[in-house]
Amino acid sequence: MVTFSKGDLVARKSYLGDIFFKIVEIVWKEGEEPRALLKGLDVRLLADAPLTDLEKVSLEQVRSKRRKFVQENRERIQRLVTRGGPAKGNTLKENEAKEDLDFFEIPGTVLHLDGDPEYLKLCLDTYKEMKIKAHGLSIKEEKQPEVVLQLLQEFMPDILVLTGHDGLLKGQKDWGDINSYRTSKYFVEAVKRARTFEKSKDDLIIFAGACQSYFEAILRAGANFASSPQRILIHAFDPVLVVEKLAFTPIDKTVAINDVIKNTISGANGVGGVQSKGRFRLGLPKSPY
């Protein structure tokens, strides 16, 4: 008989092993079959399943699945790791093109709160590759509303990202009820509190949500971008791909929503939003020091 422990890598037999998870906790209730609380390894999903529905997966299986993902999304991943070069088409540069001036560039700055420390590290490493100044803290979803105001005051970012894990609760069919979701209510409340700090959607851009999150409620709370319009799973990279477009679009230009969505892995089924201005600035002259 297979035994399971916290930290084991598993898949669900009833879903034909489509997603790989890590066991976060095993719940034992008297008179009930033991269940595992599961965290997606590559998607921002929380789920639970009876232990009898689980099968262990190896590290090599996980690596193989990730290699396949990278191959299928090579163009997006390559753009992530090579981003950070000079912005093109900026009005200031075009107007001063005849002058012998040396510009400096300031992409939008980011404050990223993530309920998952492993995903946060992945995002922070990618921001660094793209030369985006980012502050990141691992804050559980339910704690994000409590700390977001203080952290906004401390870091004064251009872009706020609120992510972690989410998912529709088993057996829930009312997608218009906030209580049908595991953590959407925390993202909604955190966005509302952030908007008491900065009301303008152009002065503070907010992305919030995770897998299957209550998209409409998060947008109504004041987010510029959110997941998940069709309640699908979103990839760990999706928030970073949204930030990339926002941070490198000049402040005098409106970010094309279609370009933001097409830049993500999940597409329009997983990410959506409203018109927003970019947060990239050019300055001059560049100091020699």
Pair 36, 143 in one domain = no
Pair 152, 48 in one domain = no
Helix 117-129 to helix 74-82 angle (10° resolution) is 70
Pair 147, 189 in one domain = yes
The residue among 20, 42, 61 that closes a domain is 61
Query: Furthest-apart CA pair in the chain: how many Å?
Result: 79
Q: Any long-range contacts for 191-197 (C-beta under 8 Å, 24+ apart)? A: 191/162, 191/218, 191/221, 191/222, 191/223, 192/145, 192/221, 192/222, 193/145, 193/148, 193/149, 194/148, 194/149, 194/152, 194/160, 194/162, 194/222, 195/221, 195/222, 196/149, 197/148, 197/149, 197/152, 197/153
* DSSP notation for 187-242: HHHHHHHHHHH---TTTSEEEE--TT--HHHHHHHT-SEES-TT----BTTHHHHH
Which backbone phi and psi does 22 adopt, to 5 degrees?
Answer: -115, 135
pLDDT exceeds 60 at position 90 = no
> Tell me: the pLDDT tens digits for 2-31?
889 999 999 999 999 888 999 999 998 888
Total of domains in the chain: 2
- This prediction has a pTM of 0.85
Note whether residue 266 is domain-resident. yes
Contact 129, 83 (CB under 8 A): yes
141: exposed, middle or buried (C-beta count within 10 Å: 0-12, 13-18, 19+)?
buried
> Tell me: the pLDDT tens digits for 275-288?
999 999 988 888 88
Average pLDDT over residues 205-209: 98
CA atoms within 13 A on the CB side of 155: 24
Note whether residue 262 is domain-resident. yes
Pairwise CA distance, residues 152 & 141, whole Å: 16
The residue among 43, 61, 79 that closes a domain is 61
Residue with tokens 């970012």: 157
Note whether residue 69 is domain-resident. no
pLDDT exceeds 80 at position 96 = no
> Tell me: the pLDDT tens digits for 230-280?
999 998 889 999 999 999 999 999 998 998 998 898 999 999 999 999 999
Note whether residue 85 is domain-resident. no
Pair 108, 47 in one domain = no
The residue among 46, 61, 76 that closes a domain is 61
Highest-confidence segment of 69-73, 129-133, 184-188: 184-188
Note whether residue 48 is domain-resident. yes
Note whether residue 2 is domain-resident. no
Note whether residue 78 is domain-resident. no
Pair 24, 150 in one domain = no
Pair 149, 218 in one domain = yes
> Tell me: the pLDDT tens digits for 139-162?
999 999 999 999 999 999 999 999
Pair 107, 182 in one domain = yes
pLDDT tier at 89, thresholds 50, 70, 90 = very low
Pair 151, 104 in one domain = yes
Average pLDDT over residues 39-56: 90
Pair 53, 95 in one domain = no
Note whether residue 84 is domain-resident. no
Contact 59, 11 (CB under 8 A): no
Dihedral sign, Cα of residue 117, residue 123, residue 127, residue 130: positive
CATH number, domain of 186, equals 3.40.50.2300
Pair 206, 266 in one domain = yes
Contact 196, 177 (CB under 8 A): no
pLDDT tier at 100, thresholds 50, 70, 90 = low
Pair 39, 142 in one domain = no
How large is the C-alpha radius of gyration of the chain? 20
pLDDT tier at 173, thresholds 50, 70, 90 = confident
Pair 57, 95 in one domain = no
> Which structural domain, as residue segments, surrounds residue 46?
9-61
